[in-house]
Amino acid sequence: IWDVAIEACLREGGTMSHQHGVGLSRSTFTESELGSAFRVLVDMKKALDPKGIMNPGKLGLGVRE
């Protein structure tokens, strides 16, 4: 039910999160929510954390994107 609710929110232009972070439970939806900006986030993560040791898997970003 949670995934269906998030998908409905994103489809209607809403967001998957508000005052709390995305974390692991919602990380699979990060790319859907950010669209083309997700690539910027991936590139920033690679530049700032080339070894992938800071919060691996958070925000839908794996150690090796």
Tokens matching residue 28: 């699979």
For the purposes of burial, counting CB atoms within 10 Å of the CB of 58, is it exposed (0-12), middle (13-18) or buried (19 or more)? middle
pLDDT in tens, 2-41: 889 889 989 998 887 766 666 677 788 888 888 899 999 9
Say what the pTM is.
0.64
pLDDT tens per residue, range 41-56:
999 999 999 998 888 8
Token pair for residue 16?
A: 């998957």
In sequence order, which ranges of 12-53 are alpha helices (DSSP H)? Answer: 30-34, 37-48
What's the pLDDT score for residue 19? 64
User: Shortest CA distance to 31 belongs to which of 58, 51, 59, 2?
Assistant: 59
